[in-house]
Amino acid sequence: MDQLALMKVVAEKAVDENVKSNSVIALGTGRTASFAVKRVGQLLKEGKLENITAISTSVQTFELIKELNIPYISIDDAMSSNLSIEVAIDGADAVDPNLNLIKGAGGALFREFLVEQYAKEFVVIVDESKMCTDLLSHCKVPIEVVNFGHLSTCKLVYNTLKEHIAEWSVRKGADGSTFITDNGNVIMDVKFSGGDVDTLHRKINEVCPFSCVSTTILSFEL
């Protein structure tokens, strides 16, 4: 089985085992998460799921939800109606044995973090290619930064953590222009050469709490 087929199997299994009728769910962003969204749509169409309402974590996921005729509610409407998010399902870029995650390669890290933190259960879909022993050496860490003055923010992050940073860049789109998130922000991708995950996460959020919107290094307990 190739990697794409494996991701589809895992995503569908995550939906089959964790999404129940009569619930509000959050659906993630990216190729792996899209398989989960499509599975929800399929099960609704077949009548195997009923009364599901979905919250999206990006414009991309919202468009897929609409295409599949999955009932939708915004995070604000869900919160104002005191609705509970029973489960959030999403992918990840890297996972270590301690269940630390890096997310954000798809560019939706702030919305993913904002929505998924309210879920009663967070299901992460990964295959073996995303498993690693050293999280920081496996892939770059994305930091979503407010667009205005973003280079000064990036410089501040670098100067604060430069002893741990091997390289960094402002993310570009396919056309070579600066990548802009759904919130109008930019992403600083950082390759760390070492350091403790928890300490680096804390320092990034301390150094500029207003201009660094989000950095998605997440920690979970078994």
pLDDT in tens, 123-171: 999 988 889 988 888 889 999 999 999 999 999 999 989 999 999 999 9
Query: Is 3-130 in CATH node 3.40.50.1360?
Result: yes
More reliable by pLDDT, 32 or 206: 32
**How high is the pLDDT of residue 214?**
62
- pTM for the full model? 0.90
Pair type for strands 23-27 and 52-56: parallel
Protein fold of 135-218: Alpha-Beta Plaits (3.30.70)
Average pLDDT over residues 203-221: 64
Cβ atoms 212, 205 nearer than 8 A: yes
Average pLDDT over residues 179-189: 94
Based on the residue annotation, tell me whether 121 is a catalytic residue of this protein. Answer: no
Alpha carbon 189 to its chain centroid, in Å, reads 15
The identity of residue 88, as a single letter, is: A
> Is the model's pLDDT at 101 over the cut of 50?
yes
Q: Where in the chain is the domain with CATH 3.40.50.1360?
A: 3-130
Query: DSSP of the chain, one letter per residue?
Result: --HHHHHHHHHHHHHHHH--SSEEEEE--SHHHHHHHHHHHHHHHTTSS-SEEEEESSHHHHHHHHHTT--B--HHHHHHTT--EEEEEEE-SEE-TT--EE--TTS-HHHHHHHHTTEEEEEEE--GGGB-S-HHHHSPEEEEE-STTHHHHHHHHHHHHTTTEEEEEE-B-TTSSBP--TTS-EEEEEEESS--HHHHHHHHHHH-TTTEEEE-EE----
- Name the burial class of residue 142, with classes exposed (0-12), middle (13-18) and buried (19+) by CB atoms within 10 angstroms of its CB: buried
Active-site annotation holder among 17, 63, 86, 112: 112
What is the sign, positive or negative, of the torsion defined by CA atoms of 134, 136, 140, 146? positive
**How high is the pLDDT of residue 213?**
64
Alpha carbon 134 to its chain centroid, in Å, reads 19
Q: Where in the chain is the domain with CATH 3.30.70.260?
A: 135-218
- Residue from 195, 32, 180, 109 nearest 101 by CA: 109
Percent of the chain residues topping a pLDDT of 70: 94
> Is the model's pLDDT at 50 over the cut of 90?
yes
Mean pLDDT is lowest, of 42-46, 66-70, 147-151, for 147-151
